Amino acid sequence: MKKIIALTLCLCMIFALAACGEKTAAPADTTAPAESEPADASAAESDLTWGLKPFEETQKIRLALFTGSIQSYPAYFADELGVFEALNIEPEILWFTGGPAMLEAGSDWDMCALGIGGIAIGLSTYDYSFIEATDYEDNMAVFVRPDSDIAKDPTNPEVWKGAECVYPAGTSAQMVLAAYLNTMDLTLADVVSTNADVSNALTVFSGGTGDVLAVWNAIAFAAEDAGYVRVTDCGQLGNSPICGSFTHPDFLKDNLDLVATVVAVSRLANEWVYENPETAAEMFYNHCEEEGFLVTEDVASRIVEWFAGPTVDEYLDVFTTEGAFDEGAGRNLLKVEEQILNGYDFFVSEGKYTVEQRNQWLADNRVDASVAARVAELLGK
């Protein structure tokens, strides 16, 4: 499929290269990207390097991605398009269906991409370095049955009290449900919580269990198509949880240019998705079919339409701009740290993590901005 899709990419490549800015010289070490001549307008039409310099020696990297979750797919899209091949990078892509399992399999990957629930686990339990924002999940939604009292009067706190809510505990689905309850001065203590893995939650709910369902992405669209009423979502609440990537500190120390190049490609791939939504949706659908992840072509298109991954400039901004002073950290936070804490502090409030754990990963500077700085250099930002 790489060769079939490549022509589509070429049509928008001039735009992509313009977004990258001026090219920089190659790093001095022997494994760094090799020097290349600046591409002119005609050469740009066949340039799959996206303004980056290919490595002199073949680089290998293992990427752990989340099946069916669009935040993981830009790197996959870039690989299918042939971008990594053009840069002399050989990625091995490993697919997972859950964040905890992905994190536990840390010896199998060099970089992994997952949602806020997994990010919280990674920062609290492992020594992984957080290096990349990949998406902001607007389509994290809460559904109810169409004939229910809640559907008839969704802002009435009385009809919510005692309602059974089905959702994967410890995830951003729990966070969006709590956020909506809070708009009515309610908490999770006012409802009954039933834990169900996101891949099974809709099946459980459709079988008659529960009054409320909280799920995301393809499952959310499937719930909508099944006739359930979308009461709210993170986009409506203006509180979209961050998704992002980890790497191992030792791997990053020894392979900064490789990691930075993969991140740069992935963020440029976000921009490619915005320019090529139909092609991206087709590639997403085809991969889900291969993996046995149930999704229709229409749902795949809607998933791409809702995609809110950061552009290169947006990614660089949150990793280089300071936010407010945080007493626990004893310093001004990066914007990206504030975005993580938007979800992490909720989990702290629910007793999943302690204030000490929160402050420890902040003190340890586990959010590593060195990759963003190198991406800026590689792209001439």
**Quick one: 8 and 124 in the same domain?**
yes
For residues 201 and 286, membership in a common domain is answered with: no
For residues 137 and 234, the answer to whether their CB atoms sit within 8 Å is: yes
Q: In which residue are the tokens 């009385």 written? A: 158
Name the strand (E) or helix (H) holding 141.
Answer: strand 140-144
Instruction: Tell me: do 7 and 131 sit in the same domain.
Output: yes
State whether 115 and 24 are in the same domain.
Answer: yes
Residues 116 and 155 placed together within one structural domain of the fold: no
* Residue 246 shares a structural domain with residue 261: yes
Last residue of a domain, one of 185, 206, 237: 237
CA distance 210 to 334: 40
The answer to whether the beta carbons of residues 312 and 268 sit under 8 Å apart is yes
Q: Which residues, listed in sequence order, are joined to residue 62 by a DSSP beta bridge?
A: 92
Of 193, 208, 237, the residue at which a domain comes to its end is: 237
Structure-derived torsion over alpha carbons of residues 376, 378, 379, 381, reported in degrees to the nearest 10: 30
Query: Domain residues for 22?
Result: 2-137+242-378
Q: Are residues 261 and 227 in the same domain?
A: no
Residues 223 and 252 in one domain: no
What distance in Å separates the CA atoms of residue 239 and residue 220, rounded to the nearest whole number? 17
Tens digit of pLDDT at every position of the chain (381 positions): 544 444 444 444 433 433 444 333 334 343 455 444 443 333 334 689 999 999 999 999 999 999 989 999 999 999 999 999 999 999 999 999 888 999 999 999 999 999 999 999 999 999 999 999 999 999 999 999 999 999 999 999 999 999 999 999 888 899 999 999 999 999 999 999 999 988 889 999 999 999 999 998 889 999 999 999 999 999 899 989 999 999 999 999 999 999 999 999 999 999 999 999 999 999 999 999 999 888 899 999 999 999 999 999 999 999 999 999 999 999 999 999 999 999 999 999 989 999 999 999 999 999 999 999 999 999 999
pTM of the model: 0.84
Q: What are the pLDDT digits (tens) for 168-213? A: 988 889 999 999 999 999 999 999 999 998 888 999 999 999 999 9
C-beta atoms surrounding 346 within 10 Å: 21
User: Which residue, 237, 267, 301, sits at the end of a domain?
Assistant: 237
Helix (H, G, I), strand (E, B) or coil at 91: strand
Q: Six-digit token pair at 267?
A: 């963020």
What's the alpha-carbon Rg for the chain, to the nearest Å?
Answer: 21
Question: Judging by DSSP bridges, how do beta strands 229-233 and 212-216 pair with one another?
Answer: unpaired
Q: Are residues 83 and 177 in the same domain?
A: no
* Spatial CA neighbour of 368 closest among 272, 244, 281, 269: 244
- Regarding whether 228 and 367 lie in a shared domain, the answer is no
Is residue 53 located within the same domain as residue 92?
yes
DSSP designation for 190: G
Measured over the CA atoms of residue 106, residue 303, residue 307 and residue 352, the dihedral's sign is negative
Residue 106 DSSP label: G
Query: In terms of domains, do 222 and 341 share one?
Result: no
Q: Max Cα separation, the chain?
A: 67
Distance CA 339, CA 342 (A): 5
Q: Are 9 and 47 in contact (CB under 8 A)?
A: no
Q: How many domains does the chain have?
A: 2
What's the CATH number where 132 sits?
Answer: 3.40.190.10
Q: What is the pLDDT of residues 71-93, one digit of tens each?
A: 999 999 999 999 999 999 999 99
